[in-house]
């Protein structure tokens, strides 16, 4: 029996340790968002090259695609608190080295690439460790609320970081902004040091046996292959990522070519999505969703798709309609993500959660560049609006279709108790 199961049986689960860690991570997330903005802006000012920015984006995505599956298997075996501390430390160290290079006037573009790559590698280990730890520290009935708060926090960081970063860069050198990230990472590490993070029984028993990590990964994949409903949910998540990333990337061209707008109109559209993200997270955090989390997520998917389709269908003189539709899309996107992550945390055994979460993460991450490769030529040939309509219609259709699949709709009817091979 895992520590979570034992504690829940005796009614001793407390949310205080989790929110201690969560608060530290909230500060760290803001610091990371500030650094991301500062580095992208520095690359933009220094090079003015779209290729450079594209390469920087690839550096941020590669660890998610290439490292995440192995990271999940390792997270399931390692001490999760120590994993998060080391990951936060790696992110802070990369910021310190880069700050020193800026202070010395010796920074080059490739230095920034390496820093972005290292930070993303740290995140590839930190994210599954935090997600898997959440299910051991939070009562199951509150998982959807916590997932909603996490989504709201990410949306808030996306809204606050760009203007705050712009203000800070006006009054401070880049190395000072990087120093802020070091300080926020230190807060996150301090919170982890002060709190005990429960470990699943198998993870503790497997410590010191790295030779079977690949076998662990295979077992995790076999676990998913034997669960049709969850495989369908993961496939839907991957398809949504394939459709969603290009839509968000095409916003500047949509504003310029269709709405004949400029930076202000683009800001309205992007801010509407971010504000919807925060509002959706806060709503899910307060509401918790329907008793069936899968139903909450599916209905959110249908309405999020409707929002994206409306953006593409909005006439050129109705930017206000596109802004409202982007708010709806952002709001419902959080309902989808929060519900599905909470469902995974509730149904997947703690000892394999790291592997399952990173399968989702790496699979979804691989879809983003594929979606961009498809959407780019399509948008060039038919216009940006077409992709929004196609993406939105496909998302809504997947949601409606999922309602008719028994394996998906009955996914929460019973707890998953089958053991992994060899356990």
| pLDDT confidence of residue 410 | 86
| Residue 206, pLDDT above cutoff 70 | no
CATH code of the domain covering residue 374: 1.20.1250.20
pLDDT at 119 over 80: yes
Q: What is the pLDDT of residue 341?
A: 79
User: Considering the domain boundaries, does residue 253 fall inside one?
Assistant: yes
* Residues 260, 317: Cα–Cα separation, whole Å: 9
Look at residue 378 in the predicted model and tell me its pLDDT: 78
**Residue that wins the pLDDT comparison between 303 and 126:** 303
- For residue 416, is it within any domain? no
The first and second tokens of residue 110, run together, are 């490739």
CA distance 285 to 248: 25
pLDDT of residue 30: 87
**Closest of 256, 239, 238 to residue 384, by C-alpha:** 256
Residue 139 lies in a domain: yes
Reduced to 3 states (helix: H, G, I; strand: E, B; else coil), residue 11 is coil
Which range in 19-23, 32-36, 259-263, 347-351 is most confidently predicted, on average pLDDT? Answer: 19-23
31 vs 144, residue with greater confidence: 31
Residues 6+ apart with CB under 8 A from 12: none
Model-wide pTM > 0.85? no
More confident of the two residues 122 and 3: 122
- The pLDDT of residue 55 is above 90: no
pLDDT(146) > 70: yes
pLDDT at 347 over 90: no
**Within-domain flag for 287:** yes
Per the prediction, the chain carries an average pLDDT of: 80
Count of CB atoms situated within 10 Å of the CB of 244: 23
- What pLDDT, on the 0 to 100 scale, is given for residue 207? 46
Predicted pLDDT of residue 10: 39
Q: Does residue 231 belong to any structural domain of this protein?
A: yes
In-domain check, residue 211: yes
Tokens of 415: 């707890």
Residue 226 has pLDDT above 90, yes or no: no
Percentage above 70 pLDDT, the chain? 84
Question: What is the per-residue pLDDT across 282-305, written as a single tens digit (0 to 9) for each?
Answer: 888 788 888 888 999 999 999 999
pLDDT band at 208 (very low <50, low <70, confident <90, very high): very low
Q: Which domain holds residue 217?
A: 3-409
d(CA 176, CA 134): 33
* Segment 334-350 mean pLDDT: 82
Most confident of 121-130, 219-228, 248-257: 121-130
Residue 422 lies in a domain: no
pLDDT in tens, 153-205: 877 777 777 677 777 888 888 899 899 999 999 999 999 998 888 877 654 44
The total domain count for the chain is: 1
Q: What percentage of the chain exceeds 90 in pLDDT?
A: 23
Q: 26-35, 297-306, 400-409: lowest mean pLDDT where?
A: 26-35
Q: When comparing pLDDT for 287 and 423, which is higher?
A: 287
Tokens of 293: 């989390």
Query: Could you say which DSSP state residue 351 is in?
Result: G
CA distance 220 to 378: 37
Band the pLDDT of 344: cuts 50, 70, 90: confident
Main-chain phi, psi angles of 95, to 5 degrees: -70, -40
> Would you say 72 and 354 are in contact if contact means Cβ atoms under 8 Å apart?
yes
Asked whether residue 421 is assigned to any structural domain, the reply reads no
């Amino acid at each position: 029996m895992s520590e979570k199961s034992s504690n829940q049986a005796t009614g001793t689960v407390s949310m205080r340790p989790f929110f201690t860690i969560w608060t530290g991570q909230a500060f760290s997330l803001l610091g990371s968002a500030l650094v991301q903005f500062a580095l992208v802006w520095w690359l933009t000012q220094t090079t003015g090259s779209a290729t450079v920015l594209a390469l920087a984006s690839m550096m941020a995505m590669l660890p998610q695609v290439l490292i995440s599956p192995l990271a999940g298997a390792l997270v399931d075996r390692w001490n999760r608190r120590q994993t998060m501390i080391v990951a936060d430390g790696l992110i802070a160290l990369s910021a310190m080295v880069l700050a020193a290079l800026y202070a010395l006037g010796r920074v080059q573009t490739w230095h920034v690439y390496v820093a972005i790559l290292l930070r993303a590698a740290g995140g590839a280990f930190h994210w599954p460790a935090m997600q898997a730890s959440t299910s051991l520290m939070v009562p199951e009935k509150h998982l959807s609320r916590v997932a909603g708060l996490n989504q709201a926090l990410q949306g808030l960081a996306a809204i606050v970081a760009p203007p705050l970063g712009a203000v800070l860069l006006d009054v401070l050198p880049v190395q000072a902004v990087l120093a802020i990230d070091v300080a926020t990472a230190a807060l996150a590490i301090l919170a982890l040091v002060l709190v005990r993070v429960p470990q699943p029984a198998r993870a503790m028993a497997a410590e010191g046996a790295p030779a079977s990590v690949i076998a662990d990964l295979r077992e995790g994949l076999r676990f998913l292959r034997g669960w049709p409903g969850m495989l369908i949910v993961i496939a839907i998540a991957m398809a949504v990522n394939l459709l969603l990333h290009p839509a968000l990337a095409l916003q500047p061209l949509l504003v310029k070519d269709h709405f004949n707008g400029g930076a202000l109109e683009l800001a309205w559209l992007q801010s509407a999505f971010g504000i919807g993200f925060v509002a959706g997270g806060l709503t899910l955090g307060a509401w918790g969703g329907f008793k069936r989390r899968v139903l909450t997520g599916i209905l959110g998917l249908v309405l999020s798709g409707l929002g994206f389709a409306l953006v593409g269908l909005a006439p050129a003189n109705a930017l206000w309609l596109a802004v409202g539709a982007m708010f709806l899309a952002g709001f419902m996107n959080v309902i989808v993500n929060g519900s599905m992550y909470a469902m995974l945390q509730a149904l997947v055994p703690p000892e394999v959660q790291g592997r399952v979460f990173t399968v989702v993460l790496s699979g979804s991450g691989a879809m983003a560049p594929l979606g961009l490769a498809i959407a780019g030529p399509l948008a060039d040939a038919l216009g940006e609006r077409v992709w929004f309509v196609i993406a939105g219609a496909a998302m809504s259709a997947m949601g409606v279709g999922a309602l008719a699949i028994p394996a998906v709709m009955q996914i929460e009817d019973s707890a998953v108790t089958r053991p992994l091979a060899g356990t």
